[in-house]
Structure 1
Amino acid sequence: MNNSITVYGIKNCDTVKKALKFLAGHSISYQFIDYRERPISEKQYEDFKDAVGIEELVNRRSTTYRSLSEKEKQSIDFELISKYPTLIKRPVLIKNDKVVVGFNEKKYLNFLL
């Protein structure tokens, strides 16, 4: 069984920084992928969406989301996510095809340990 952890996010995001600090503090190794530098694929987007649902995946508190038209807010898809990667709530952790979005210590402990 593969126990590797992949963390998707944006390196200057405070929530991502907290998550990476948490992982390091618990001696959990991970691979970090900044999706501004390496955008997610359509398959990854679909996998994330299938795992957690679009409601949990989309960062509705972001400035980017608030700047979208009502029509765009109702039809967030891969094309829109590709154009505005900050629409994805951060970070996204992947372990053994399981996905957790956002940062919550209790949720991380259950997911990772």
Structure 2
Amino acid sequence: MTVTLYGIPNCDTVKNARTWLESKGVAYAFHDFKKAGLTPALVDGWLKQVDWEVLVNRKGTTWRGLPDQRKAAVADAASAAALMLESPSVIKRPVLVCNDTTHVGFSDASYQQIFNK
């Protein structure tokens, strides 16, 4: 099983997901997308499986800090991808890719279902 967790290390939700994975003995790679960056191919891959409106965190401080004109310009997957590449902090975290399937966010129940643990 190949598991990669994408996020930012100081994000509480990412910390919770990492703690959950470690407590269940799930081996995973962590990708800090602020430090390691994102590629258009990676974001496009996520967008093939997850709606852009799920990936863009409109409740976060990064989104709220954007000018209204910039927010209004995010109207489809292509414009959302451009924003995510420009400002990775706007991505809802964490993004978990497990066996080529993309999951967004964290909850104990959802991870139990993903990993059957």
**TM (normalized to structure 1)?**
0.91
Corresponding residue SS for 1:107: helix
For 1:4, give the aligned amino acid. T
C-alpha distance in 2 between matches for 1:70 and 1:49: 23
Q: Verify: 1:91 aligned to 2:87, yes or no.
A: no
**What CA distance in whole angstroms lies between the structure 2 residues aligned with 1:54 and 1:77?**
6
Query: Which 5+ residue runs of structure 2 have no aligned equivalent?
Result: none
Which residue of structure 2 aligns with residue 34 of structure 1? Answer: 32
TM-score, normalization by structure 2: 0.88
Identity of aligned residues (%): 36
Aligned residues: 111
How far is the alpha carbon of 1:79 from its aligned partner?
A: 2.8
Question: In the alignment, residue 46 of structure 1 is paired with which amino acid?
Answer: D
How do 1:1-113 and structure 2 match up within 5 A? 3-74=1-72, 75=74, 76-113=79-116
How large is the Cα RMSD of the aligned pairs? 1.3
CA distance in 2, matches of 1:69, 1:36: 21
Unpaired segments ≥5 residues, structure 1: none
Cα deviation 1:18-52 (Å, max 9, x = unaligned): 00000011111100000011111101111112211
